[in-house]
Amino acid sequence: MTTELLDSLNEPQQQAVLYEGKALLLLAGAGSGKTRALTHRVAHLIHRRDVPPWRIMAVTFTNKAAAEMRERLEALLGQEKLPWVATFHASCVRILRQEIEHLGYGRDFTIYDDQDQLRLLRSLLKERKIPEKDLKPRALASFIDSAKNRGLTPQACARQQMDDPGLIELYRLYQQRLKQGNALDFGDLLLLTVQLFEEVDEVRRRWQERFAHLLIDEFQDTNRVQYRLIQLLSGPGTHLCVVGDDDQSIYRWRGAEVSNILGFDRDYATTCIVRLEQNYRSTRTILDAATAVVEKNSDRRDKKLWTDNPSGQPIHLETSADDLDEARFVATEISRLQRQGQALRDIAVFYRTNAQSRVLEEALRSQRLPYAMFGGVKFYARQEVKDALCYLRALVNPADSMAVQRIVNTPSRGIGAATLGKIAELQAQAGGFLPACRMALESDLLGAAPARRIKAFVAMMDDFSKRMERLPYPQLMAEILQETGYAPILQEEAQQALTTDSREVAKGRLANLEQLLAGMEEHASAAGSLQDYLEQVALMTDLDQHDPSIERVTLMTLHSAKGLEYPIVFITGMEEGLFPHSRSANGVEDLDEERRLCYVGMTRAMTRLYLSHARRRRVYGTWQFNSPSRFLADIPVHLLAGQQNESVVRTSKPQSTTSHNLAALADLVAPEEAEVSAQAVESRSTEPTRQSSPVAVSRADDGGLRLGARVRHLKFGPGVVRRLEGSGDKRKVTVYFNSVGTKKLLLKFAGLIPG
């Protein structure tokens, strides 16, 4: 078995598997078999070196990668027990479930997702009477996340004196509120584990002794707090093996530090560095093209990568008139491939921003091509699913205020905002929202009718809580959905809806609840507890529900594609301002990261790669005219084929992205937010504003206003000019405001000042 295991590896891979020293760095390009070497090393340790599986921890970037690794190990190990194979977050949860009491939290803690986080921040800002226009909850969330990624508690932030004291104070309050609710957000999972190991020597030593081997994949994307965690977990007897590719570092914007991998041999002096140079994944054409793109990066360690694979077909370059055309091309081509016998699960379509997916989805649907999309609204974040889960969360952890507040009036029990406000004020004193309900009842704080309703709610929760002891939790969930009226109300809506649309929505929501119950049954039948289930759900990303055996096309952002491979890949929207994203106009480092992202995308492809760009694209309801991405110009012409590629290559000289008004717009809103608001704006505006050209609209009488200019309005705050039309007194300006979306104003009265 073991010799077979080594036979399937090349020499440097074998070296990585057999290495017995303390620190090993496997640094190599895409598709060179790093992950394969890591998996085989784990199998070797267990089989040949008799390391007990529980003394090995392998960390990967996504749950999907972890599941795949577990599967491969099962195949390699047979009957042996599996080691820990998990993401950083999941590993931390396991440690914290055992140890968190040292930090003053209870073991039953809840994990808050981004939605819960925002809700909590919103209520905190409201309490502090800070209007959202002065500080957006999202901005505060990203401040807090970034501090946590750097491993900084509020106290540490204060000591550093680098951030705004007001923000730090809010961060401190937020942490306090989480602790009261016995809840942790994602960032806390890592931060608190680090804090635990730093503060409690005995615990750190115990865990250091436990793990003889730590193996970390995709190491280039670790951030400071993750790196610190690895350092704290590595004791004198620990063997560390880290694997990665600096060319694939694409999470700098989320705090990843590529210096972790590049400086690894400085921190671990006796590091053995193994390099893999043979790519097994892609055709020579694809590999050469991807290398040509990433080679342009200014600050890069030179790396060799070659392949024995055939050249294969040239890369197809497609120029489309607009985004709809591009989507049609993708769908038609996939249809054609399908007719030729190509399996749909072997095809992936990537894009830079989530907002691009909508037209692609429509085109695939119109050709009746099944697809699975990742990165939209997560299943577990959908309203009805989240509502249902919050009932269970509230029962498991009554201190979980976010959960209780979400369900106290869902479905409606006629409890008003004023009543909820009064109860909320008691929360800190009572230790959560549910205890605050009891306190409010005892202290006769509420009027007769509200008190009656709150009492009924509390009694209902007590009753469910009793049932939790004896019922399997899927059964409990079903009873909750029925008895609270949640499911019956949806059923009624589905039957009596006046429009087809609302009927479909209600039906879809019921189907989601059914799917939720089915998932619970499955989990419970494998002897999983409710606590395990909630934990798994909290850490789940969309990617995890991906079942590769199902016949459908995969749609995802370039960021989620990392580590994966597909025989056929489409990368769409290869345009200046979109990819590279306008955000990268800020500096060389951001542009380098976009280039690496392009390299990651291209190297996912095994046999066939399609790159496409559109001459114009509808963004935020207006047409953007983007020139082809500079990355296309970096690919040697002889590797390309397809429509009009020569003109593309000739015209796509690198140019400043600031000429696109998209750049100005995206500056104002963070990309994720921009994606959401883009959809919101589109659905709000009845008729998409079209114009022939984004330039040459500045006039003397516009007071210097031009398309893309930033402006400020007395009431609506900052915005960006989207359109100018009409003349004289009737001249109108359309502005996209952060606060309220799109507004059309008479220029004369608009009172806009340059922002």
Span from 34-42, 195-203, 671-679, 736-744 in contact with ligand ATP (CB under 6 A) = 34-42
36 binds, among ligand ATP, Mg ion, none (CB under 5 to 8 A by kind): ligand ATP
Q: How far is the CB of 29 from ligand ATP (least distance, A)?
A: 7
Task: Pick the binder of ligand ATP from 17, 25, 30, 46 (CB under 6 A).
Answer: 30
**Would residue 34 show up in a list of annotated catalytic residues for this protein?**
yes
35 classed as catalytic: yes
115 is catalytic: no
Instruction: Provide the residue count of the chain.
Output: 755
- Asked if 276 contacts 10 with a C-beta cutoff of 8 angstroms, the reply is yes
| Interaction between residue 281 and ligand ATP (CB under 6 A) | yes
Least Cα distance to 56 among 6, 196, 69, 34 occurs for 69
Q: Which has the closest alpha carbon to 290: 596, 641, 681, 64? A: 596
Distance CA 287, CA 153 (A): 43
Note if 303 is an active site residue: no
C-alpha distances in angstroms, 401 versus 93, 106, 115, 145, 736? 20, 15, 13, 21, 35
Output the smallest distance, CB 562 to Mg ion, in A. Answer: 8
Determine if 752 is a binding residue for ligand ATP (CB under 6 A): no
Which residue in the block uniquely carries the two structure tokens 């009036």? 409
641: phi then psi, degrees, rounded to nearest 5: -145, 170
Which of 330/602 has CB closer to ligand ATP? 602
Residue 283 in contact with ligand ATP, rule: CB under 6 A: no
Q: Which amino acid is at 669?
A: V
The residue range among 26-34, 570-578, 673-681, 720-728 that interacts with ligand ATP, by the rule CB under 6 A, is 26-34
Q: Which is nearer to ligand ATP, 178 or 294 (CB)?
A: 294
- Residue 613: name its binding partner from Mg ion, ligand ATP, none (Cβ under 5 to 8 Å by kind): none
32 part of the interface to ligand ATP, by CB under 6 A: yes
32 touches which of ligand ATP, Mg ion, none (CB within 5 to 8 A by kind)? ligand ATP
User: 476: which residues sit within 8 A by CB, 6+ positions away?
Assistant: 392, 464, 467, 468
CB of 726 to ligand ATP, least distance (A): 53
Say if residues 398 and 404 touch (Cβ distance below 8 Å).
yes
Q: Residue 255: phi, psi to the nearest 5?
A: 95, 5
State the minimum distance, in angstroms, from the CB of residue 59 to Mg ion.
13
**Is residue 35 a contact residue for ligand ATP (CB under 6 A)?**
yes
Q: 537 vs 564, which CB is nearer to ligand ATP? A: 564
What are the CA-CA distances from residue 258 to residues 232, 245, 252 (Å)?
19, 9, 8
Query: Which one-letter amino acid corresponds to residue 312?
Result: G
> What is the distance between the alpha carbons of residues 249 and 265, in angstroms, rounded to a whole number?
18
**Residues 6+ positions from 631 with CB-CB distance below 8 Å:** 293, 574, 579, 580, 595, 598
12 binds ligand ATP (CB under 6 A): no
The least CB distance from residue 321 to Mg ion, in Å, is: 37
For residue 721, the cross-strand partners are 735
601 near ligand ATP (CB under 6 A): no
As given in the structure block, the two tokens for residue 246 are 């600096």
User: Would you say 722 and 707 are in contact if contact means Cβ atoms under 8 Å apart?
Assistant: yes
Choose between 278 and 742: whose C-beta lies nearer to ligand ATP. Answer: 278
151 binds, among ligand ATP, Mg ion, none (CB under 5 to 8 A by kind): none
CA distance 553 to 369: 8
- Our finding on whether 666 is near ligand ATP (CB under 6 A) is no
Among 5, 12, 13, 400, binds ligand ATP (CB under 6 A): 13
The one catalytic residue among 35, 278, 484, 622: 35
Which residue is catalytic, options 39, 220, 248, 572?
248
The answer to whether residue 580 forms part of the interface with ligand ATP (CB under 6 A) is no
509 touches 501 (CB < 8 A): no
Instruction: List, in sequence order, every residue forming a beta bridge with 720; answer none if it has no partner.
Output: 710, 736
Q: What is the DSSP code (8-state) at residue 542?
A: G
CB 60 within 8 A of CB 306: no
- Rounded Cα–Cα distance for residues 736 and 723 (Å): 9
Pick the piece of the chain touching ligand ATP (CB under 6 A) from 8-16, 123-131, 693-701, 741-749. 8-16
Instruction: Measure Cα distances from 426 to 402, 423, 437, 647 in Å.
Output: 14, 5, 8, 68
Q: In this complex, which beta carbon is closest to ligand ATP, that of residue 291 or of residue 405? A: 291
Of the candidates 123, 207, 34, 738, the residue with the CA atom closest to the CA atom of residue 405: 123
Annotated active-site residue 495? The verdict is: no
Query: Which of ligand ATP, Mg ion, none does residue 12 bind to, with CB < 5 to 8 Å depending on kind?
Result: none
**The two structure tokens encoding residue 285:** 């054409």
Identify the active-site residue in 55, 406, 552, 604: 604
Residue 31 interacts with ligand ATP (CB under 6 A): yes or no: yes
Tell whether residue 563 is a contact of ligand ATP (CB under 6 A): yes
The interface region with ligand ATP, picked from 24-32, 72-80, 101-109, 713-721 by CB under 6 A, is 24-32
Give the separation between CA 433 and CA 425, rounded to whole angstroms: 9
For every residue of 605-673, DSSP letters joined together read: EEEEEEEEEEEEEEETTEEEE-PBPHHHHHS-GGGEESTTHHHHHHH-----GGGSHHHHHHHHS-HHH
CB of 9 to ligand ATP, least distance (A): 5
64 belongs to the binding site for ligand ATP (CB under 6 A): no
Options 5-13, 151-159, 343-351, 468-476: segment touching ligand ATP (CB under 6 A): 5-13
* Catalytic residue, candidates 68, 185, 218, 400: 218
Q: How far is the CB of 35 from Mg ion (least distance, A)?
A: 3
Question: Least distance from C-beta 603 to ligand ATP, angstroms?
Answer: 6
Query: Does position 34 bind ligand ATP by CB under 6 A?
Result: yes
The angle that helices 137-149 and 186-199 make with each other, rounded to 10 degrees, is 30
Binding site for Mg ion (CB under 5 A): 35, 563
Q: Does 15 help bind ligand ATP (rule: CB under 6 A)?
A: no
Shortest Å, Cβ 218 to Mg ion:
7
Choose the one of ligand ATP, Mg ion, none that binds residue 13, judging by a C-beta under 5 to 8 angstroms depending on kind: ligand ATP
- Determine which residue in the list 14, 16, 24, 33 makes contact with ligand ATP, applying CB under 6 A: 33
Q: Is 245 in the site for ligand ATP (CB under 6 A)?
A: yes
Say whether 308 is catalytic. Answer: no
- Judged on CB neighbours under 10 Å (0-12, 13-18, 19+), 528 is middle
Q: How far is the CB of 630 from Mg ion (least distance, A)?
A: 27
Identify the active-site residue in 68, 113, 188, 217: 217
**Residues 216 and 188 sit within 8 Å (Cβ to Cβ):** no
CA angle 534, 218, 80 (to 5 degrees): 65
The answer to whether 41 contacts ligand ATP (rule: CB under 6 A) is no
Least CB distance from residue 255 to Mg ion, whole Å? 21
How many residues sit close enough to ligand ATP to count as binding (CB under 6 A)?
17
Find the part of the chain contacting ligand ATP (CB under 6 A) among 32-40, 208-216, 373-381, 632-640: 32-40
Residue range at the interface with ligand ATP (CB under 6 A); choices 2-10, 338-346, 444-452, 719-727: 2-10
628 lies in the binding site for ligand ATP (CB under 6 A) = no
Residues of this chain that bind ligand ATP (CB under 6 A): 8-10, 13, 30-36, 245, 248, 280-281, 563, 565
| Residues that are catalytic | 34-35, 217-218, 248, 604
